[in-house]
């Protein structure tokens, strides 16, 4: 497995955004999960350049929400627990611990500058 750093966009209407990125940039879906209330989580690729997309939530506000963010990062590594703990020791704050769900082992940190980092790997 190769380490990668991929942006994650939070949007107000994931289904519409998904279609827009397909139409506008020729994005193809690499992963897709339908959620409650017509929400979506998807991993997309535009000629090999990947990004994640999901509907905003209280924990993940989008740019149209006051004080919302525009992006979070997902850092894919071979040993998420080791990287997660290393970041905690360096001053990050745990948002949620590493758990196994939806085919991933992943946890979330907030760095000292307010950026959210999900650190994980796909489950075998």
Which residue range(s) make up the domain with 72?
1-76
Are 67 and 92 within one domain? Answer: no
Are 14 and 26 within one domain? Answer: yes
Would you state the pLDDT for residue 119?
Answer: 93
User: Does residue 113 surpass a pLDDT of 70?
Assistant: no
Q: What percent of the chain has pLDDT over 90?
A: 49
How many domains does the structure of the chain reveal?
A: 2
The string of pLDDT tens digits covering residues 50-99 is 999 999 888 887 778 887 776 788 899 999 999 999 999 998 999 999 99
User: Does residue 35 surpass a pLDDT of 90?
Assistant: no
Model pTM score: 0.71
Cβ neighbours of residue 82 under 8 Å, at least 6 residues apart?
none
Q: Write phi, then psi, for 91 (nearest 5 degrees).
A: 120, 5
Distance of CA 103 to the CA centre of its chain: 14
Whether 124 is covered by a domain: the verdict is no
Would you state the pLDDT for residue 106?
Answer: 96
């Amino acid at each position: 497995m190769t380490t990668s750093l991929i942006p994650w966009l939070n949007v107000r209407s994931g289904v519409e955004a998904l279609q827009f990125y397909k139409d506008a940039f020729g994005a193809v879906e690499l992963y897709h999960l339908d959620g409650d209330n017509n929400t979506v989580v998807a991993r997309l690729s535009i000629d090999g350049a990947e990004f994640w997309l999901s509907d905003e939530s209280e924990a993940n506000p989008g740019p149209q929400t006051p004080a919302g963010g525009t992006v979070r990062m997902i850092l894919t590594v071979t040993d998420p627990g080791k990287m997660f703990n290393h970041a905690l020791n360096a001053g990050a704050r745990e948002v949620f611990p590493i758990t196994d769900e939806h085919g991933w082992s992943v946890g979330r940190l907030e760095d000292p500058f307010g950026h959210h980092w999900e650190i994980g790997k796909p489950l075998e």
